[in-house]
Amino acid sequence: MLSSLGPGVYVKAARQPYDVHKIIDAFRTHHDDLRILCAHRGLRWNGTAENSRDSYFRASEAGIECIETDIRLTPDGGLPMLHDFHAGRVTDIGEVTGQPAYNPFTGQGYNPPVGSFNFSGPGGLENLRLRDEQGGVRNEYVPSLQQMINSIFDSGMNVVLQLDFKDKAAIEPTYWALKHLTNRAGVPANEWCIYKLQAVFYPTPEEFEALPWVQDAFRSGIRLAHIPVYEAKYYTMFDTLDSAKRYSQTNYTISIEVELKNTGGPLQEVLDYAQSSESPIGTTGVFYAPGDFTWPNLDPVSFFDTANYSLPEDLHPGNTVYTYKENKAPMTLDAQAGAGSSDGHDYRSDFNWLIETGFDWIICDTPDLWHARLEQEGKRNIRHMIADGQVPKMGRKMGWYKRWAADLFPAMA
């Protein structure tokens, strides 16, 4: 089990000399000896706020090649990087406005919609601090997408982003906002920011390619990277298999995300096709769902104290996990599975099941631990993504603290 690595495990990883175009190519091509890791909202679960500069920096320092993040749209055209529809769990909106702070264990407290605020100006989201996963308010403010891209440039991170759009209306503004931004190597942001779009938004390539911003990308020679996402809850709304087949024929679709919840369940035929020799792509990805409860937090200053919600004695009943639900008490994945699972169980919290099912890339909250586990199994050959003329860095030799010390004390390097 993944948890056997335990808290505080020493993971031999370091910032790597990746080539973002080679990472994109790795998404396109199946490799028996590589599973790509996407840090879910950055490397967090350690007192670091999700979708923060710190969580991105930590992911890069741990040698993770991809970060999956969330984009929303505000009335003034801002693009805040926030996952939830509401602002309470991830910011200090309650404290700032003098309202009862939101508690995800009870679903109670001040939890206004993100879309009811501008990003900039007085009362804007940019003035709110971020919370970590246990409720601690961090000294970091809600970032915009542009600010995060600039941070990646400034720090020289060689990572790709998976942009998970919570608002369909945010997709086109994102393209224009990124058009003149690059990473430190000069690669346009629109070539290493993967547009991960719900397939239900644009079920066919024809609908997608007719969009003005997509047309501009084609005219400008931008090498768009697109991943359609197929979720069981949209299974009956359109022909998912036909959609996957058609997108796999395009040169801009680099992989397919299939949120299969159990073997033989809805979307199984989409996964089978995507992993078959019939598909020009042949790679698939999924979200690893470990649950939202962490090791007990004994910090009396942290707000998330479970209040009048009683933590269950077994946090993994029936091999499922608990997740937060906005404005509700936590629920198990199985309780949310519904028609998305043919046997009532959501297996995405099972590490072994994901590997056995053959997914090529995984979105995960603990990518450093996944790296260690996959490396032991011979499935983390990151040489496929390393820049030409470079070699992988072993251990923490090139980690930030070592590089910082070398800059200050060259004789000790």
Closest CA to 103 of 316, 298, 328: 328
Closest CA to 10 of 257, 369, 363: 369
Task: Give the pLDDT of the chain (413 residues) as one tens digit per residue.
Answer: 233 333 333 334 468 999 999 999 999 999 999 999 999 999 987 778 999 999 999 999 999 999 999 999 999 999 999 999 999 999 999 999 999 999 898 899 999 999 999 999 999 999 999 998 888 899 999 999 999 999 999 999 999 999 999 889 999 999 999 999 999 999 999 999 999 999 999 999 999 999 999 999 999 999 999 999 999 999 999 999 999 999 999 999 999 999 999 999 999 999 999 999 999 998 999 999 988 876 555 555 555 667 677 777 777 788 899 999 999 989 999 999 999 999 999 999 998 999 999 999 999 988 988 999 999 999 999 999 999 999 998 754 344 334 433 444 444 33
pLDDT for position 397: 39
Containing domain of residue 177, as a range? Answer: 8-78+144-295+316-412
The reply to whether 250 falls in a domain is yes
Secondary structure (DSSP) of 273-284? HHTSTTSSS--E
The reply to whether 407 falls in a domain is yes
Model-level pTM greater than 0.75?
A: yes
CA-based max dimension of the chain: 65
The reply to whether 139 falls in a domain is no
- The enclosing H or E element of 242 equals helix 240-247
The CATH number of the domain holding residue 199 is: 3.20.20.190
Question: Which single residue is written with the structure tokens 């393209």?
Answer: 175
Q: Kindly state the tokens that stand for 145.
A: 């997408």
The reply to whether 89 falls in a domain is no
- Name the domain count of the chain: 1
pLDDT for position 295: 55
The reply to whether 211 falls in a domain is yes
d(CA 256, CA 248): 8
Which residues of 94-184 form beta strands (DSSP E)?
129-131, 137-141, 160-165
Collect all residues with Cβ–Cβ distance below 8 Å to 273 and sequence separation of at least 6.
241, 244, 245, 248, 279
Q: What is the DSSP-derived secondary structure letter of residue 268?
A: H
The reply to whether 90 falls in a domain is no
- Taking each continuous run of H as one helix and of E as one strand, the counts in the chain are 14, 12
Collect all residues with Cβ–Cβ distance below 8 Å to 149 and sequence separation of at least 6.
178, 181, 189, 193
pLDDT for position 270: 97
Closest CA to 291 of 2, 56, 57: 2
The reply to whether 87 falls in a domain is no
The reply to whether 242 falls in a domain is yes
